[in-house]
Amino acid sequence: MSSTAATVAGTIAAMGRRARAAAVVLARTDPAQTAAALTAAAAAIRADTDAILVANAEDMARATAAGLSAALLDRLRLDRDRIEGIARGVEAVAALPSPLGALIDESTRPNGLVLQRVRVPIGVIGIIYESRPNVTADAGALCLRSGNAVILRGGSDSTASSAAIHRAMVSGLAATGLPSDAIQIVPTPDRAAVGAMLAGADGTIALIVPRGGKGLVARVQTEARVPVLAHLDGINHVYVDTAADPDRAQAIVVNAKLRRTGICGAMETLLIDRAYSDPAPLLAALIDGGCALRGDAAARAIDPRIAPAEAADWDTEYLDALCTVGIVDGIDGALAHIAAHGSGHTEAIVTEDAATAERFLAEVDSAIVMVNASTQFADGGEFGLGAEIGIATGRLHARGPVALEGLTTYKWLVRGTGQTRP
Amino acid sequence: MSSTAATVAGTIAAMGRRARAAAVVLARTDPAQTAAALTAAAAAIRADTDAILVANAEDMARATAAGLSAALLDRLRLDRDRIEGIARGVEAVAALPSPLGALIDESTRPNGLVLQRVRVPIGVIGIIYESRPNVTADAGALCLRSGNAVILRGGSDSTASSAAIHRAMVSGLAATGLPSDAIQIVPTPDRAAVGAMLAGADGTIALIVPRGGKGLVARVQTEARVPVLAHLDGINHVYVDTAADPDRAQAIVVNAKLRRTGICGAMETLLIDRAYSDPAPLLAALIDGGCALRGDAAARAIDPRIAPAEAADWDTEYLDALCTVGIVDGIDGALAHIAAHGSGHTEAIVTEDAATAERFLAEVDSAIVMVNASTQFADGGEFGLGAEIGIATGRLHARGPVALEGLTTYKWLVRGTGQTRP
């Protein structure tokens, strides 16, 4: 470790220790108080709109001079509407029911011991994100509402904007007597700060959530020495079964691919049962909707506008108006293809055959498995969670959309009357 | 990586891929079939008793020649009773209710989508253990019953015994048509095998559970690149409050320390409220029970037989008839001491004051928090889980005693009628 990296690691460890101390306070805090803090933070965001815009203008000027792409500049850019949206998002999290203290289960043992499992905060969560400054408020709010202290590390492009939003969040904490260390932001743009967080900040960070593109998520997943909630890819499949209703199939497939092509719930591969009666209009609907298709020989025989798929296409998340199409032999073929090429995010079947649908639900090993619905519903808000910190494709702790409950753990409470173990 | 390590890594990765294939089959298997396989495995263990004893005699001879300690030799040793106990343990796991398919929650969205979260297996689990050959059956049974494939890596001392028990487990799989790759054992004693498992066996192992001493657990926690369920220490505290019933306090404290000193749920530090009326008999009961005490000045003033505690004693898991004793200022002092020195395993309060008890339950941040009960109850069997793969002090996925449920994850099932996202 270089001396600079060591200094940065020391800074992050000190932040971690302050966060642990704040987490101890939060664990004892009435959830009504975190809601009040977030309501106050939202008000502060609104009151600070001008200051946030000034900070954002600084970031934008720097980013423009550095030649950032139009897409990145758009992610970075704030305006009055977006700031109002951020404030409303924080209020929405304040209004979510607290997951803390919820009784998971309870039992009484023959010896009279009463056991309960109750939800408690995880402790300290690290959030590593890129150019969207709104994550400062959004992730900060979700962590606080679930009783956790959070260390935020935003992208260097958005330093000033994120700092301005962070000041508003902290003023919400101060207004309600909560420790300001409950929501901290890493002050240094040094990349070593990310490394120090991924190493666990000297044992203080219990969970890392990356929010950003594939490069960031891959780095986090590769380097982290603490648990990570994330998904690297959303290579989502829609399988149109021979028993699909053609109108439903077309509506779902077009929506799953084209409603928004850049979200992780978008369909990336369309699988069609070889026995499906009328695939041509389905493929035409995608092409007419502006989607380029790449397919296997059987698909190309149906529509010559389909380009040949390379081997890598079946394992690619395009996040674009581009889709791979394969013709498979029934549900067995679909299951085998998904097992070989899926990323464990979201898969859907379109079928009117209940037995086939249930088999797909049972045998597809993804975080989300759908019947007769668009994969674009893969979202915490659409799932009724009120928000989401992200979608996880790992197998432990939480899977699929993760919101407040996924940011908690539990402890066992045991109430006795003097029992000793024989 | 040396060429030998590379070869071993290749062997482990190949085992991992076979385990993944077996896990796909297990995920579709009726839980009645895993129960039948385990019942058949138990019968095979009984039928193979002589062969297991011969294998164990080999291991014992080698271990004795190598000069293993009496304690390690005792862990390694099998006899007819112990083998019968292993068979019964496997039958007990077979009889446990399957956690698979259980509905965690369900909701219907305004658009008519029906969402369910249901329990599914994790996939492939790696178990790394030491000289106790019974773990081969015990951990293998728990993983199989929860629908997971398992890769077992036993200690080099118990190679022959573990292999013999493993053969019986596999014959149970074969008797019921389940893939033999569902329970694999690493054939090489090479320590590089452990490293390859901790690295995830080429992405195939989703979870590692170490079963053994602190050295093993520390290595696994430090080196693992996949999630680990474990506890390193059980530095468990019993706090005797001023409002404790003296008889209960004495019974609980003596049981918590001395019933079995070598288990992870044993009390290691006794904290007594400075206002507690009669600490002398409590301390005398421990000393008279054969426990050596080390204490702070206030404790030593109560009983001169107490030796002075060094700073390190407060952070030591003795696993022996030895206990640290501290006098604290009420529950605030106890909470501060536990926060500074606890290992997050199990803490107990003895008090008749309900408000103090509830505060202890709420504010102690350990996997298990008890009121008026011995810490020696910290055990999956005592908690009604039927068995345990271990006790976890990490904060994610599962905490405290982990049995079948902790070896599962969930997926989201979404049933629609053609919904597309607006």
Looking at domain A3-229+402-413, which of 3.40.605.10, 3.40.50.1260, 3.40.50.10440, 1.20.120.1200 is its CATH number?
A: 3.40.605.10
| Nearest-angstrom CA–CA distance, B115 and B306 | 61
What's the pLDDT at B1?
Answer: 56
Q: Which of B368, B370, B357, B377 is nearest to B241 (CA)?
A: B357
Say which of A254, A396, A410 has its CB closest to residue B409: A396
For residue B60, give how far its alpha carbon lies from the nearest alpha carbon of chain A (Å): 32
Average pLDDT over residues A126-148: 95
| Nearest-angstrom CA–CA distance, B157 and B133 | 9
B419:A374 CB<8 A? yes
A418:B252 CB<8 A? yes
A396:B396 CB<8 A? yes
B27 CB neighbours in chain A (<8 A) are 363, 365
Provide DSSP, A286-310: HHHTT-EEEE-HHHHHH-TTSEEPP
For residue A396, give how far its alpha carbon lies from the nearest alpha carbon of chain B (Å): 6
What's the pLDDT at A242?
Answer: 98
What are the residue ranges of helices labelled H in A109-210?
Answer: 135-145, 159-175, 192-198
Q: Which of B281, B82, B409 is nearest to A392 (CA)?
A: B409
What's the pLDDT at A114?
Answer: 98
Question: In DSSP terms, which residues pair with B349 in a beta bridge?
Answer: B239, B371
Let me know how many helices (H) and strands (E) chain A has, helices first: 14, 16
Distance of CA A196 to the CA centre of its chain: 22
> With contact defined as beta carbons under 8 Å apart, do B216 and B182 qualify?
no
> What's the angle, vertex CA A224, arms to CA A388 and CA A343, rounded to 5?
55
B376 CB neighbours in chain A (<8 A) are 420-421
CATH of domain B3-229+405-413: 3.40.605.10
Residue B77, classified by CB atoms within 10 Å of its CB into exposed (0-12), middle (13-18) or buried (19+), is middle
Say which of A115, A361, A420 has its CB closest to residue B413: A361
Neighbours of A354 (CB within 10 A): 11
What are the residue ranges of helices labelled H in A96-177?
Answer: 135-145, 159-175
What's the pLDDT at A322?
Answer: 96
B109 CB neighbours in chain A (<8 A) are 382-384
B399 CB neighbours in chain A (<8 A) are 409-412
Q: Which H helix or E strand runs over B124?
A: strand B124-129
A322-328: strand order across its sheet: A307-308, A292-295, A322-328, A267-273, A236-240, A346-350, A368-373, B408-419, B114-121, B103-108
B107:A420 CB<8 A? no
How far CA A401 is from CA of A152, B111, B123, in Å, comes to 20, 18, 20
What's the pLDDT at A1?
Answer: 56
SS3 call for B368: strand
B415 CB neighbours in chain A (<8 A) are 357, 361, 370-373
> With contact defined as beta carbons under 8 Å apart, do A40 and A137 qualify?
no
What's the pLDDT at B173?
Answer: 96
What architecture is domain B236-377?
3-Layer(aba) Sandwich (3.40)
- Tell me the domain boundaries of chain A: 3-229+402-413, 236-377
ipTM of the complex: 0.95
Using one digit for the tens of pLDDT, what is the confidence trace for A251-294?
A: 999 999 999 999 999 999 999 999 999 999 999 999 999 999 99
| Nearest-angstrom CA–CA distance, B158 and B55 | 9
Q: Please provide the distance, in angstroms rounded to a whole number, between the alpha carbons at the two ends of chain B.
A: 53
B373:A416 CB<8 A? yes
Size of interface A-B (CB pairs under 8 A): 184
Say which of B122, B371, B414 has its CB closest to residue A370: B414
Per-residue pLDDT of chain B (422 residues; tens, 9 = 90+): 566 888 999 999 999 999 999 999 999 999 999 999 999 999 999 999 999 999 999 999 999 999 999 988 999 999 999 999 999 999 999 999 999 999 999 999 999 999 999 999 999 999 999 889 999 999 999 999 999 999 999 998 999 999 999 999 999 999 999 999 999 999 877 889 999 999 999 999 999 999 988 999 999 999 999 999 999 899 999 999 999 999 999 999 999 999 999 999 999 999 999 999 999 999 999 999 999 999 999 999 999 999 999 999 999 999 999 999 999 999 999 999 999 999 999 999 999 999 999 999 999 999 999 999 999 999 999 999 988 999 999 999 999 999 999 999 999 999 999 999 99
B123 CB neighbours in chain A (<8 A) are 365, 395
Residue tagged 């996202």 (tokens): B421
Say which of A369, A371, A417 has its CB closest to residue B372: A417
Distance of CA A167 to the CA centre of its chain: 24
Neighbours of B308 (CB within 10 A): 11
Average pLDDT over residues A401-421: 97
What's the pLDDT at B386?
Answer: 86
Say which of B24, B383, B397 has its CB closest to residue A397: B397
B414 backbone φψ class: left, alpha, beta (φ>0; ψ -120 to 50): beta
For residue B159, give how far its alpha carbon lies from the nearest alpha carbon of chain A (Å): 31
For residue A363, give how far its alpha carbon lies from the nearest alpha carbon of chain B (Å): 7
For residue A68, give how far its alpha carbon lies from the nearest alpha carbon of chain B (Å): 31
Say which of B28, B377, B394 has its CB closest to residue A113: B377
B113 CB neighbours in chain A (<8 A) are 373, 377, 382
Q: Please provide the distance, in angstroms rounded to a whole number, between the alpha carbons at the two ends of chain A.
A: 53
| Nearest-angstrom CA–CA distance, A27 and A310 | 52
